[in-house]
Chains A and B, each alone.
Chain A
Amino acid sequence: MEAVKENKDLKTQEYFVNMGPQHPSTHGVLRLMLGLDGEIITKVEPHIGYIHRSIEKMCEFDNYRQIVHLTDRMDYLSSHMNNEAVCLLIEDALEIEVSDRVKVIRTIFSELARLSSHQLWWAATGMDLGALTAFLYGFRDREMINDIFEETCGARLTMNYNIPGGVMFDLHPNFVQRVKDFIAHFKTKLPEYDELLTDNVIFRMRTEGIGVISKEDAISYGLSGPTARASGVECDLRKSHPYSAYDRVEFKEIILEDGDAFSRYKARLLEMWESMSIIEQLIDNIPEGDIEAPTKALIKLPKGEFYQRVETARGDFGVYVVSEGGKSPFRLKFRSPSFSNLFVLDHIAKGSKIADLVAMMATFDLVVPDIDR
């Protein structure tokens, strides 16, 4: 090494690489400006805005029923939970009492959506790290959930199933049986995920000790969801601020201590087991009742400020509405989990390799439309 240092003629130079806006592992139009010294990352600067649709501004011109549908287009994998946040906010503001049936249906759907989101994340993580087969395994099981959604509400991804005051349709007669079939099926398939990826030596080498986020960093960067819980932060809104039917089910908040890419991975896998257990507790006794509380055709929120948070598959999703009493909000702001989760990247990626950056981004489970809105 000494000899290399003495040679003054040989100079290395840092260079920049644009990772994105079109890049296989940014999962959308995200641009990361990487400062590189050989393979070593010196700087990560996320440049966002390529898929900005000004959803928040659009909401100021739409009525409240329309806003629900716009939230689908942010985190499209947690579209049901995003819808739920807006509906809960409206119901809370207007003091609409929704029936137990609606609460339970919403919870089951949320957990199914969380499962399907995590399955897609697992599939994409495998692909990012080069295990191409994982991708199709994840999609196989996700397909069953999508079919269940499709049967009840006609859509597979952006479902628009929640409406202020309830849900749009009653459950399909096959729903209970199909969910039970799916749970039975997926309980045998989840261990397969472990066999294929979790226990793989190369996968462990690529993720263990990579991109470590300390508990303090996780809190100060405002991380949420499984990304924060893998660093030991207790932030599950389903536990701390229960909404819908989460107060009547038993489940464990997954808290891991290491904060590296592998524990973020593990946290999501364990969360899938918890989601299945939540669904199992609710599926057998869905209460009877109305699926929709009576609401006015044109919803007007009283004057004031309202805030509602839900736990989506990626973390803490918040809706903040300032109302002047009109049919659309005066100001509206979404707090999206992926946005906060992305910006810790520069802090943890310094000094690691390009391949590590891919592993970190994969375990953040970023959805770019959620970052840009």
Chain B
Amino acid sequence: MSTFSPGWTMAIEWMIIGITLILFAAISVIILVYVERKVAAFFQLRIGPNRVGPYGIFQTVADFIKLLMKEHITSKKADKFLFNLAPFIIVTAAFLGIGAIPFALGLHVFDINIGVFYLTAVSSVGVLGILLGGWAGNNKYSLIGALRSGAQIVSYELSITLSILTIVVLVGSLQLSEIIASQETGWWIIRGHLPAWIAFVIFLIAGTAETNRGPFDLAEAESELTAGFHTEYSGIKFAMFFLAEYLSLFIIASVGATVFLGGWLPFHIGTWAAFNNIMDYIPSIIWFFGKVAGLIGIIMWFKWTFPRLRIDQLLVLEWKYLLPINLVNLLLVSFIALMGWYF
């Protein structure tokens, strides 16, 4: 027995991939939290974290250690099983998405033929965790927050899916690698004319709502519901909600970068061979993370500039504006795709 059997090899390979992904996710969340705090500080004329480590880069690490060591409190009248289950559901939902994202040329864990469908499906499981957590905590603020979040995510799920479908119609495939391959000659946001732009803007708005971030942070709504659906959570369980929020922010930005901005493909301009060559020298992973960082920056910009919407205004925005625009846009893009009017 000098070699492993194929089954074992497979199992160990998946294990290594899984651990790598989880580690990657944890590290990227720690980085994102640090970046968010620095971005917020920049917007708010502050310095931000600057005590733990150079430029405060270990501040989030310290915070997470603090959260891990805190006492787990489950309130007396809570539904204990569901209360403890909810953070796991939401974190699992966030982790599931990571595997399907093409990080760079060849760095893609599983490239299934329904990649886009898979990502949207998995990301909507997270709302289950929010609803359960809000219900099980036996706190009225949590319940209001959870129900708000349910209404919000179910609504915005439509917009986000339809806006991605706009590009899927142009590509003719749900597979993420094919969506990227189809942008070899130019990103869809450039080639797709107006419909792609409309879809991109709607994607950004709906994506912000999907991740429960300001101005759509109604589920949390600090000044109304104290902490919304996670009012009753403390310690590591709260950390899990936190983790899931930033992970879903990363996933939304990744999907946006992949579908609209060419994923890991470099930026090319038509026939400028020299310019295109230079762009090709930049590794694909840097292209991907650069685009993701740009999108995350925009979403953070929203949060630190806009006031929060009210629940009815939020739903009006979705059902009366975004959804009809989206449907018309989808018709328009289907027509364009049929006539071959994109380049």
Interface residues of A (CB under 8 A from B): 15, 17, 23-25, 39, 126-133, 135-137, 140, 196-197, 200, 202-203, 205-206, 353-356, 358
Q: Which residues of A contact B224 (CB under 8 A)?
A: 25, 354-355, 358
Interface centre among A23, A126, A135 (most CB of B within 10 A): A23
**Interface residue B140 (Cβ < 8 Å from any Cβ of A):** yes
Asked if residues B44 and A133 are in contact (CB atoms below 8 Å), the reply is: yes
In the complex, whether B313 has a CB less than 8 A from a CB of chain A is: yes
Contact A130 B45 (CB under 8 A): no
Partner of A24, one of B217, B222, B313: B222
Which 10 pairs across A and B sit closest by C-beta, in order of nearness?
A: A130-B308, A136-B44, A131-B307, A129-B307, A25-B223, A355-B310, A128-B223, A130-B307, A203-B307, A202-B307
Q: For the complex, what is the distance from the CA of A299 to the CA of B20, rounded to whole Å?
A: 78
- Min CB distance B86 to A, Å, is 21
Cβ contacts under 8 Å, B277 to chain A: none
Q: Which of A17, A136, A356 contacts B45 (CB 8 A)?
A: A136
Per-residue contact bits, chain B 295-339, to A (CB 8 Å; 1 contact, 0 not): 000000001111111111100000000000000000000000000
Decide: B309 and A24 in contact? CB cutoff 8 A.
Answer: no
B40 at the interface (CB under 8 A from A): yes
Q: How many angstroms between the C-alpha atoms of A130 and B215 in the bound complex? A: 7
Q: A25 — which chain B residues lie within 8 A by C-beta?
A: 223-224
Residues of A near B72 (CB, < 8 A) are: none
The residue among B215, B224, B303, B313 with the most chain A CB atoms within 10 A of its own CB is B224
Q: Are B226 and A355 in contact (CB under 8 A)?
A: no
**Contacts A15-B140, A131-B306, A137-B45 hold; do A24 and B311 have CB atoms under 8 A apart?**
no
B144 touching A200 by the CB < 8 A rule? no
On whether the beta carbons of B310 and A353 are closer than 8 Å, the reply is yes
Assuming A129-B223, A136-B46, A202-B215, is B311 touching A39 (CB within 8 A)?
A: yes
Nearest-neighbour CB distance to chain A for B212, whole angstroms, equals 13
Which one, B148, B225, B308, contacts A202 given CB within 8 A? Answer: B308
Q: Is B221's beta carbon under 8 Å from chain A?
A: yes
Among B46, B141, B222, B310, the residue within 8 A (CB) of A205 is B310
For A132, list chain B residues within 8 Å (CB): 40, 44, 214, 303-304
* Bound Cα distance A266, B223 (Å): 21
In the complex, what distance in Å separates the CA atom of A127 from the CA atom of B223? 8
Taking CB atoms, residues of chain A closer than 8 Å to B144 are 17, 39, 354
Q: How far is the CA of A200 from the CA of B305 in the complex (A)?
A: 9
For A126, the chain B residues whose CB sits under 8 A away are 307
A93 to B249 CA separation, bound complex (whole angstroms)? 66
Which residue, of B46, B218, B307, has the highest number of chain A Cβ atoms within 10 A?
A: B307
Q: Which residues from chain B contact A196 at a C-beta distance below 8 Å?
A: 305
Residues of B within 8 A of A200 (CB): 306-307
Which of A15, A128, A131, A356 is most buried by chain B, counting CB atoms within 10 A of its CB?
A: A131
For A359, give the chain B residue with the smallest CB separation. Answer: B310
Q: How far is the CA of A126 from the CA of B307 in the complex (A)?
A: 7
Is B43 on the interface with A (CB-CB < 8 A)? yes
**Would you give the shortest CB distance from A177 to chain B, in whole angstroms?**
24
Residue of A nearest to B227 (CB): A24
**Chain B positions 9 through 44: 1 when the CB is less than 8 Å from some CB of chain A, otherwise 0:** 000000000000000000000000000000010011
**Min C-beta distance of A13 to chain B, whole Å:** 12
Can you offer 19 A-B residue contacts whose CB atoms are under 8 A?
A17-B141, A17-B144, A23-B226, A130-B214, A130-B215, A130-B217, A132-B44, A132-B304, A133-B44, A135-B44, A137-B44, A197-B307, A205-B310, A206-B307, A353-B311, A354-B144, A354-B225, A355-B310, A356-B310
Pairwise interchain contact B307-A355, C-beta atoms closer than 8 A:
no
Chain B minimum-CB-distance residue to A126:
B307
Which chain B residues border A131 with CB–CB below 8 Å? Answer: 305-308
User: Would A140 and B312 count as touching, CB distance under 8 A?
Assistant: no
| Residues in A neighbouring B140, C-beta threshold 8 A | 15, 17
> How many residues of chain B get a CB closer than 8 Å to chain A's CBs?
30
**In the bound complex, CA of A203 to CA of B313 (Å):** 12
Nearest-neighbor residue (CB-CB) of A210 within chain B: B310
Closest B residue to A25 by CB, please name it. Answer: B223
Contacts of A358 in B (CB 8 A): 223-224
Contacts A205-B309, A205-B310, A354-B225 supplied; 4 other A-B pairs, CB < 8 Å: A131-B307, A132-B214, A206-B307, A206-B308
Distance A131 CA – B307 CA, assembled complex (angstroms): 4
B223 A133 Cβ-Cβ under 8 A: no
Q: Determine the distance from Cα of A133 to Cα of B301 in the docked complex, in whole angstroms.
A: 11
Decide if A353 touches B312 in the complex (CB within 8 Å). yes
In the complex, which residues of chain B have a beta carbon less than 8 angstroms from the beta carbon of A353?
Answer: 310-312
Docked pose: A206 CA to B215 CA in angstroms: 12
Whole-angstrom distance from the CB of A88 to the nearest CB of chain B? 37
Which residues on the B side are within 8 Å of A202 (C-beta)? 215, 306-309, 313
Residues of B within 8 A of A17 (CB): 140-141, 144
Considering the complex, give the chain B residue whose CB is closest to the CB of A128.
B223
Interface centre among A127, A133, A355 (most CB of B within 10 A): A355
Q: B215-235 CB contact bits vs A (8 Å, 1 = yes)?
A: 101100111111000000000
Residues of B within 8 A of A140 (CB): 45
CA–CA, A135 and B311, complex, Å: 23
Contact with A along B242-285 (1 / 0, CB 8 A): 00000000000000000000000000000000000000000000
CA distance A354 to B222 in the complex (A): 12
If A17-B141, A355-B221, A358-B224 touch, does A130 touch B311 (CB 8 Å cutoff)?
no
In Å, the complex CA distance between A196 and B304 comes to 11
Given A200-B307, A355-B308, A355-B311, answer yes or no on A130-B141 (Cβ-Cβ < 8 Å): no
Minimum CB–CB distance from B207 to chain A (whole Å) comes to 17
- Please indicate the chain A residues that have their CB under 8 angstroms from the CB of B218 in the complex: 355
Given known A-B contacts A206-B307, A356-B310, A130 and B44 have beta carbons under 8 A apart: no
- Tell me, rounded to whole Å, the shortest Cβ–Cβ distance linking B244 to chain A: 21
Contact yes or no, A130 B43, CB < 8 A: no
| A354 partner residues in chain B, CB cutoff 8 A | 144, 224-225
Q: A130-B217, A356-B310 known; A24 and B223 CB under 8 Å?
A: yes
A contact residues around B43 at 8 Å (CB): 133
Within 8 A of A (CB), among B174-224: 214-215, 217-218, 221-224
Cα distance A353–B44 when bound, in Å? Answer: 29
CB-CB < 8 A to B44: which residues of A? Answer: 132-133, 135-137
Task: Name the CB-closest residue of B to A137.
Answer: B45
Interface string of B131-165 (1 = CB under 8 A from A): 00000000011001000100000000000000000
